[in-house]
Amino acid sequence: MNKSFFSLHALPQTLLALALLAATQISVAQQLEYNKGFEEAEAKNWEELEVPPPPAPKTENLQPFYVGPTATQTFAIDTKSLAIGKDGVIRYTLVAVSQGGAKNISYEGIRCATFEKKIYALGREDGTWAPSRRNQWEVIVRSKVNRQHAALAQDYFCSNLTIVGNEKEMLERMKYRKTLTDELLRE
């Protein structure tokens, strides 16, 4: 058979593939533009509350939570500090302890709607707080190391950019190591 027969035979399939590709590109562009409007409106309307740091954490109020098999520190949150603000920010005191016993305390927030975190203040040994120099919202990185914020957000606090449950339910998930993914698999 000659080459022109194969070209003519493949022409309808090629045109169909090109038409589908063009339709996909248009659909993706429209979806991005559609989402952009919501993101801009939400960003303009959202206003963060000013919340002072809570009292220094007490050992008896610490709730450890699982971060992952590669974690080189242990992590806990102060159960008395966990609060969901009217601005949609989940605020808590985080206590991180290294294998050598060094302890870091920070007052932080997670915003499920944008999957971001913010460090408001750092705890001092005398129980007072020092304002954080990095008190800007940062995207939570999902990695295998330094994933304490990702663990809190995706395992205990947020699903599909939405806060899941109240403070009591979040603490119960941490206590019993029942992640939001576990709950979805049971449904």
Instruction: Give bridge partners of residue 119 from the DSSP assignment.
Output: 108
4 SS3 class:
helix
Q: Which amino acid is at 90?
A: I
Count CA within 13 A, CB hemisphere, residue 82.
20
14 SS3 class:
helix
Q: What pLDDT shows up at residue 130?
A: 97
- In whole angstroms, give the CA distance from residue 168 to residue 80: 11
- In whole angstroms, give the CA distance from residue 132 to residue 175: 28
What digits encode the pLDDT tens for the residues 15-70? Answer: 554 444 444 454 434 455 545 544 554 556 899 999 999 999 999 999 999 998 88
Q: What is the pLDDT along the chain (187 residues), one digit of tens a residue?
A: 555 555 556 656 655 544 444 444 544 344 555 455 445 545 568 999 999 999 999 999 999 999 988 889 999 999 999 999 999 999 999 999 999 999 999 999 999 999 999 999 999 999 999 999 988 999 999 887 789 999 999 999 999 999 999 999 999 999 999 999 866 555 5
- In whole angstroms, give the CA distance from residue 141 to residue 116: 9
Q: What pLDDT shows up at residue 169?
A: 97
- In whole angstroms, give the CA distance from residue 106 to residue 91: 11
pTM of the model: 0.75
Whole-number percent of the chain with pLDDT over 90: 66
